Amino acid sequence: MKLLLLLGLVTLAQCLVSRIPLRRAKSLRQSLREHGLLDRYLKQHPYNLAAKYFPTSTSAEPLQNYLNTEYFGTISIGTPAQEFTVIFDTGSSNLWVPSVYCSSQSCKNHKRFNPADSSTFISTNDSVYIAYGTGSMTGILGYDTVTVTSIEVTNQIFGLSETEPGDFFYYAPFDGILGLAFPSIASSGATPVFDNMMAEGLVARDLFSVYLSKNEQSGSFVLFGAIDPFYATNGITWIPLSAETYWQITMDSVSINGKSVACSSGCQAIVDTGTSLLAVPNGALGTILRTLSASSDGEINCKSVSTLPDVVFHINGKAFPVSPSAYVMESNGFCSLGFEGMNVPTESGELWILGDIFIHEYYVIFNRAKNMVGLSPLP
């Protein structure tokens, strides 16, 4: 935002000096859209456009889009570097990868960190256990150099898995997880990677931003230290956090066709890049499915998708719609809604998880300096 303001002031000053009347020119996005060239342009310029504006102070990590449900990038750990693919997860706070100590089947078909091969590894006697909604891990903690895109974080604490029970991580197309939530929910008190980036002055601003592509397209990224102005042309709405744990916010209500269908008295939600769907309280799920004429298990007639309404999330006094093209999933000629039920009570009501289906519609800024989430609608 500082960059955009500065450019505006410079333009205004030049016009006043030369007495040139000010006119609002069409944006690049508008011109491309009018000529039917926007989609092709986005495919040809998929990510890291911020490098044009912030060539030395920010880093964009490209993310691979796996079936529109998981997004992961590559990091390295150790000296010399050992590479791993990880989910950049705003719903957890720890970094961990499989290790040579792991005996689970899940580790045998993924890359495994070998501390004996790193001259900068420092061992500890501390253990770590992390439980997710779809899997868990146990292991030990160690310190080493972690490199994320061009950012090198020295003495970063991370988990080396020893067990990964179940089959979720076995079938996962990624190796580990890099948590981007707050230190308060980090297992074993481990300092998150982004906190060390901030503490060591490795990012220009204490924030990061995320773009997740739809339709299995390329171009997804997480950008550390900046807001890419190309993806924020529709303006940014800033929403204060209600808790500094997850990226948790307060929602006012959820509506369909102008009628409140859930969260009518307010509720809590977290913006979570590590959750594929929209996770809602079980009671609300039934109401949403009935309103959208879906079956009890979420199936819907594919022919009716074009007539479905937006599901609108009202947050901090503003409306954030999610279109049918985002919340309907099609596979082999069958269609289903991207909502799943869960019950997680909080002090302020039941919790919602605004996962990738919601994030597909918005460029999301996670601001640690002001403890806010910024949402900018995507075209």
Tokens of 238: 């800033």
Q: Which CATH number fits domain 228-377: 3.40.50.1820, 3.30.428.10, 2.40.70.10, 2.40.10.220?
A: 2.40.70.10
pLDDT of 23-75, one tens digit each?
A: 333 344 444 555 665 555 444 444 444 444 444 345 899 999 999 999 999 99
Whether 7 shows a pLDDT value over 50: the answer reads no
Whether 215 shows a pLDDT value over 50: the answer reads yes
Q: How far is residue 53 CA from its own chain's centroid?
A: 22
Q: By the 8 A CB rule, do 349 and 3 touch? A: no
Least confident of 220-224, 344-348, 349-353: 344-348
pLDDT of 146-192, one tens digit each?
A: 999 999 999 999 999 999 999 999 999 999 999 999 999 999 999 99
pLDDT of 255-309, one tens digit each?
A: 999 999 999 999 999 999 999 999 999 999 999 999 999 999 999 999 999 999 9
Q: Which residue is catalytic, options 89, 175, 228, 310? A: 89
Amino acid at 179: G
Say whether 228-377 and 50-223 share the same fold: yes
Residue in 93, 67, 95, 69 with CA at minimum distance from that of residue 355: 69
Whether 202 shows a pLDDT value over 70: the answer reads yes
Task: Indicate the pLDDT class of residue 379, thresholds 50, 70 and 90.
Answer: confident
Q: Which residue is catalytic, options 144, 228, 272, 310? A: 272
Active site residue 89: yes
pLDDT of 344 reads: 79
Give 235's Cβ-side CA count (13 Å radius): 3
Which CATH class, in words, describes the domain spanning 50-223? mainly beta
Average pLDDT of the residues in 68-85: 97
Prediction pTM value? 0.84
Dist CA 93 CA 367 (whole Å): 15
Active site residue 297: no
Mean per-residue pLDDT of the chain: 87
